[in-house]
Amino acid sequence: MRIVVGMSGGVDSSVAALLLHRAGHEVIGVFMNNWEEAGDDGACTAERDWADVRSVCDAIGIPYYAVNFGKEYRERVFAHFLAEYRAGRTPNPDVLCNREIKFKAFLDFALQLGAERVATGHFARIGCEGEAYRLLRGADPAKDQSYFLYMLGQRALGLAEFPVGGFTKAQVRARAQQAGLPTFAKRDSTGICFIGERDFKGFLQAFLPAQPGETLDVRTGKAVGKHDGLMYYTLGQRRGLQIGGGGDGRRWFVVSKDVQNNQLWVAQGDDHPALYTTQAQVGAITWIAERPPLADGEALACTAKYRYRQGDQQVTVRLADGGLHVVANEPQRAVTPGQSLVLYQGDVCLGGGIIERMW
């Protein structure tokens, strides 16, 4: 079987290609360059990753290509990212990148190369129930990436392979080292891919004009400082608020943003009631099965992740107002508009959507 592997220059996609090659498939490595900008050190990080891809493919003994999806990325992912921050929300571009770039633009490119399947280094698994494909959590709970793949549909899952999804990260590195792959000890990438390790605030300033305004105490309604622009803050944030002493001496946290009046609302104490909510309205719903697992008016008990680095939360969901009404069994801290809320039943990812509001 001809399988095209999306290779990032990291250890996970390196081992994905290795495993498929050893299984006897005709494997082609493809490096996706989605962002063309030099890093702070003046060296293009994409060039370093491309060099690692070439070294890995040479070590495995497979052909490789590079393809530029910079235009598609800016139009389909980055433009949305900026629009969401402009509107005062906190988006997750990796989720959209998986749907629009890796499993749309890249998938189409791979099929043009004659591929029967595409593969990536995601820590997730694919199962079947009858004729329907299911997205399952990866075997390593600390590295599971099904959260970032909830927007995929049946076509994408039917053509996808996640070769490392059944392994732990330690096992992946061990296999890379045993095979002599040069990426076996390469550090995992962190943060948003097009920002990397640069200062987030400085990056945004280059694209969105700052609009300073007042920071207000939710308890008194009085100003306690100035903010640099609502786009630089997210709910639950406590660092960089530039608030002096005052109040009861406890730390300040962002509890809400009033975009219309350009006001940042804060409260003292990480247990302040304004930080916690139990209900959320979720829009832009995507179901893995491409149909909802519940009927109108029906309640479904399942678990949810309100953000990636979070344990499963017990919730009840109902279809409502063109989206999903989610009620958590326990109060949830700093639920943030623009973030993805992803639903599960055991290891099965049902789908998810974008948090619109909470109360």
Catalytic residue among 44, 57, 97, 302: 97
Active site (annotated) includes residue 44: no
The whole-angstrom separation of Cα 223 and Cα 240 is 16
- Coil, strand or helix: which one is 202? helix
In the chain, where does DSSP find H-type helix? 11-22, 45-60, 70-73, 79-86, 93-97, 106-112, 154-158, 169-178, 200-205
Q: Identify the CA nearest to 65 among candidates 3, 1, 2, 7.
A: 7
The side-by-side arrangement of strands in the sheet containing 160-161 is 64-68, 26-33, 2-7, 117-119, 160-161
Catalytic residue among 44, 57, 128, 193: 193
The whole-angstrom separation of Cα 136 and Cα 77 is 25
Q: What are phi and psi of 225, to 5 degrees?
A: 170, -170
What is the CA 190 to chain-centroid distance, rounded? 11
- Coil, strand or helix: which one is 93? helix
- Coil, strand or helix: which one is 323? strand
Q: Which helix (H) or strand (E) holds 254?
A: strand 252-258
Active site (annotated) includes residue 349: no
What residues are labeled active site?
97, 193
